[in-house]
């Protein structure tokens, strides 16, 4: 299984800063931030599934453009997998005819370009031998992370989350864990903002990683543009013993 990083920044600005999105093999998106726009038309047309962590714009902004661009090229709808609460937010505030057309009704309700599929924390979904399980996240809106299991190894993406004991209880039971992608959105000087917005900073990242009982490659995502270097220096100071690496655009992780 291959996970290609399309976007892993907490913002935009420049060639390499795209917001959160990962391409799993060729047909599954995990979140759909601005990085989706770098895919070719042929690549976009192959995407059958979008697994959404939460409704914030930096994670869903490309879904409307994706559906609008390739909907007419496909023989089946794109499936957007999200919790019930997130689906309701997308219906009410994005695909609501005011911000963007409701593609669950276009070109017809019987044959739409988009369908929603409700997911539940802890309930796995298997697609062509790939098992994707929503896991708990603690954020300012309803949110999840994802445990992705190829059969040979597992990758965990925390999504946007603050301190989260429920996450580690699950992660520590994953025998074949290989890769952990965890957010750190703010530097330590903005710890108060991180706590209010339910994100991590290097100090709280270190506290969270102390709860990890498995060996894994650790990658840091969602850092703010302009704060990347000082934040990584703080991460090295606070959590260097875990050997975390900065996630980068176009990196391909195999597991």
* Chain position carrying tokens 């990962």: 22
CA distance 169 to 159: 16
CATH class of 2-254: alpha beta
Q: Which residues have a Cβ under 8 Å from the Cβ of 141 and sit 6 or more positions away?
A: 54, 55, 56, 85, 86, 89
The band of 132, judged by pLDDT with boundaries at 50, 70 and 90, is very high
The structural domains of the chain, with segments of one domain joined by +, span: 2-254
User: Are 208 and 182 in contact, with CB atoms under 8 Å apart?
Assistant: yes
Q: Residue 15: its pLDDT value, please?
A: 80
DSSP type of residue 163? S
Q: What is the mean pLDDT of residues 222-236?
A: 96
Chain center to CA of 238: 24
Q: What is the mean pLDDT of residues 53-80?
A: 98
CA distance 113 to 103: 6
What φ, ψ does residue 28 adopt, rounded to 5°? -130, 130
DSSP type of residue 189? G
User: pLDDT tens digit string along 16-36?
Assistant: 899 999 999 999 999 999 999
Q: Residue 14: its pLDDT value, please?
A: 84
CA distance 10 to 223: 5
**Of 11, 56, 13, 66, whose CA–CA distance to 36 is shortest?**
66
Which pTM does this prediction carry?
0.97
Q: Residue 85: its pLDDT value, please?
A: 98
Query: Parallel, antiparallel, or unpaired for β 78-82 and 114-118?
Result: parallel
The angle subtended at Cα 248 by Cα 13 and Cα 178, nearest 5°, is 150
The band of 143, judged by pLDDT with boundaries at 50, 70 and 90, is very high
């Amino acid at each position: 299984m291959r996970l290609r990083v399309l976007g892993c920044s907490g913002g935009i600005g420049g060639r390499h800063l795209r917001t959160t999105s990962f391409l799993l093999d060729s047909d599954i998106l995990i979140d759909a931030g601005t990085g989706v726009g770098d895919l070719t038309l042929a690549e976009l047309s192959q995407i059958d599934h979008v697994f959404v962590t939460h409704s914030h714009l930096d994670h869903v902004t490309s879904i409307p453009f994706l559906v609008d661009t390739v909907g007419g090229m496909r023989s089946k709808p794109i499936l957007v997998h999200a919790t019930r609460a997130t689906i309701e937010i997308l219906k009410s505030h994005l695909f609501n005819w005011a911000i963007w057309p409701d593609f669950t009704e276009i070109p017809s309700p019987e044959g739409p370009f988009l369908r929603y599929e409700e997911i539940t924390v802890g309930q796995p979904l298997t697609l062509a031998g790939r098992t994707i399980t929503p896991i708990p996240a603690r954020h300012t809106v309803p949110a999840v992370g994802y445990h992705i299991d190829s059969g040979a190894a597992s990758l965990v993406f925390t999504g946007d989350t603050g301190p989260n004991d429920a996450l580690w209880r699950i992660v520590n039971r994953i025998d074949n864990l290989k890769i952990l992608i965890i957010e750190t959105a703010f530097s330590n000087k903005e710890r108060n903002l991180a706590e209010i917005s339910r994100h991590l900073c290097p100090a709280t990242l270190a506290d969270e990683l102390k709860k990890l009982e498995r060996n894994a490659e650790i990658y840091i995502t969602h850092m703010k543009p302009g704060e990347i270097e000082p934040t990584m220096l703080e991460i090295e100071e606070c959590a260097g013993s875990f050997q975390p690496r900065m996630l980068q655009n176009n990196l391909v992780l195999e597991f």
